[in-house]
């Protein structure tokens, strides 16, 4: 059974710092991995999608990497801003099921001005 | 592009009543939509997979008679919480497959906060 874990569960850093969020999964047979952002009481916003054949994706100050063999992905946020405060979720799409994706438990990020 | 609209954004209902939540794909056709439930400070748990024109597939432990899902068209899926109880209070989110395949990921609705009193 695929399990997705995110560490740390919560993180608070001062504005301007670079930071890394971690996501690990137990079964490397994934089709892709997606990073989402969720603001309190809101839906999910897709940040980056990495296919299983890719190693990384970049969008602005965000960079996501994928090491499928070790079951790990990282989301790197450069020059953090208070507006980056949110919960970040990673999710893996399984090969074993046509459409299911499994979510991690999320990292609650707080950027202090 | 690839917008999913979910309504209502919040609803309060009395115990024993039913509540319907709508999920619409605005600029694409969604053969498959998904319904999730999220408790405070927890992650999303998949409730069911909704397929256009056929019965929904429910995850283990989800009562299909309580959470009725209808996917009557390629742009609309509905979740009806029947005979609601306070323990059904939660955040419900729908999502849809973009691009009809695995290559494009998911897009999510803005969620519905259900409070049963």
Query: What confidence score (pLDDT) does residue A99 get?
Result: 67
Instruction: Tell me: pLDDT of B104 over 70.
Output: no
End-to-end Cα separation, chain B, in angstroms: 37
Q: Tens-digit pLDDT profile for chain A (113 aa)?
A: 889 999 999 999 999 999 999 999 998 888 899 999 999 888 889 899 999 999 999 999 999 999 999 999 999 999 999 999 999 999 998 876 656 788 999 999 999 99
Chain A interface residues (partner B, CB cutoff 8 A): 31-32, 34, 36, 41-46, 49, 51, 89, 91, 93, 99-101, 103-106, 108
Asked if the C-beta of B103 comes within 8 angstroms of chain A's C-beta atoms, the answer is: yes
Reported as a pLDDT band with limits 50, 70 and 90, residue B92 is very high
- Count Cβ atoms within 10 A of the Cβ of residue B36 and give its class: 0-12 exposed, 13-18 middle, 19 or more buried: buried
Give me A47's structure tokens: 């940040």
| Higher pLDDT pick, B67 / B107 | B67
Of B32, B42, B105, which is closest to A34 when you measure between CB atoms? B105
Tell me which residues of chain B, numbers 15 to 74, contact chain A at a CB-CB cutoff of 8 Å: 32, 34, 41-46, 49
Please check the confidence at residue B100 and state whether its pLDDT lies above 60.
no
| Chain A hits for B106, Cβ within 8 Å | 34, 46, 91, 101
Confidence of residue B29 (pLDDT cuts 50, 70, 90): confident
Considering all CA atoms of chain B, what is the largest pairwise distance in Å, rounded to the nearest integer?
42
Across B72-82, average pLDDT = 93
């Amino acid at each position: 059974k695929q399990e997705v874990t995110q560490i740390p569960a919560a993180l608070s850093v001062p504005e301007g710092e670079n930071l890394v969020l971690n996501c690990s999964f137990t079964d490397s047979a994934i089709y892709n991995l997606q990073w989402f952002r969720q603001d309190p009481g809101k839906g999910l916003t897709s940040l980056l999608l990495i296919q299983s054949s890719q190693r990384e994706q970049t969008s602005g100050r965000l960079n996501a990497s994928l090491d499928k063999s070790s079951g790990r992905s990282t989301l790197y946020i450069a020059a953090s801003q208070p507006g980056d405060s949110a919960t970040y979720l990673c999710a893996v799409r399984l090969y074993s099921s046509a459409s299911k994706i499994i979510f991690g438990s999320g990292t609650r990020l707080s950027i202090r001005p | 592009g690839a917008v999913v609209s979910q309504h209502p954004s919040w609803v309060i209902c009395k115990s024993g009543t039913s509540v319907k939540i709508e999920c619409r794909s605005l600029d694409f056709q969604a053969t498959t939509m998904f319904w999730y439930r999220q408790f405070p400070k927890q992650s999303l748990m998949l409730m069911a997979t909704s397929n256009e024109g056929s019965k929904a597939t429910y995850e283990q432990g989800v009562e299909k008679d309580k959470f009725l899902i209808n996917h009557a068209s390629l742009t609309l899926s509905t979740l009806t919480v029947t005979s609601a109880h306070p323990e059904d209070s939660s955040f419900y989110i729908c999502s849809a497959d973009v691009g009809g395949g695995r290559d494009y990921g998911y897009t999510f609705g803005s969620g519905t906060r259900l409070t049963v009193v």
